[in-house]
Amino acid sequence: MATDRRVSRVASLIKREVSQMLLHGIKDDRVGIGMVSITDVDVSGDLQHAKIFVSIYGSEEVRFQTMEGLKSATGYVRSELGHRIRLRRTPEVIFVEDRSLERGTQIISLLNQLSEERQQQETENSTESDSQNIEKLTSDGVLHSDE
C-alpha cells in the first residue's frame, strides 16, 4: 500500500498528464464537442485504480457524447499514462462526470434570487413606512408618534 503522499503525487501527475491528453492527444471528435476540464483524480491506495472526475460544459446531449468519447479513449489514456508516468503497473482509468460545478452554480443563482427578493421586500416595507410617516405629519411639519 502506497503512502498518502505518494497517492496524492500520483493523482496530481495523472491529472496533469490527462489534461495534456485532452488538449493534444485524444483524437476522438466527441471529446472536443464540450468544454472538458478535470476537476479531481482519485487514486486507490494500491495505485491500481484511478477515477478521473471531469466537468463538461454543454447540453445533455453534448455531455453524453463527450462521456462516450472519453470512455472509448480509456485504453489510449491508460497506455499513454504507462509511457509518461513510471509505475510498476499503470492504474485502470475510469472517467466519472462531475456535476458539482453545475450544482454550485445553481445554488449561487438561488442565493442571488433570494437576496433580490429580500431587497425588494425591504424596499416595499420602507416605502410603506415612509408613506405612513408622511400621513402623520401635521400642518406645522412636526412628526407626532402614535404613543
Asked if the structure places residue 145 within a domain, the reply is: no
In a domain, 144, yes or no: no
> Would you state the pLDDT for residue 12?
92
CATH number, domain at 69? 3.30.300.20
- Whether 86 is in a domain gets the answer yes
Q: How many domains does the chain have?
A: 2
Residue 71 CA, chain-centre distance (Å), reads 20
Does 136 fall in a domain?
Answer: no
Q: For residue 98, what are the contacts with CB-CB under 8 A and spacing of at least 6?
A: 39, 40, 53, 54, 55
At residue 25, the pLDDT reads 77
59 and 127 assigned to the same domain: no
- Evaluate whether 95 touches 70 at the Cβ level (below 8 Å): yes
Domain match, 60 and 126 both: no
Q: What is the pLDDT of residue 43?
A: 92
**49-102 confidence digits (pLDDT tens):** 999 999 888 888 888 988 898 999 899 989 989 988 888 888 999 999 988 777
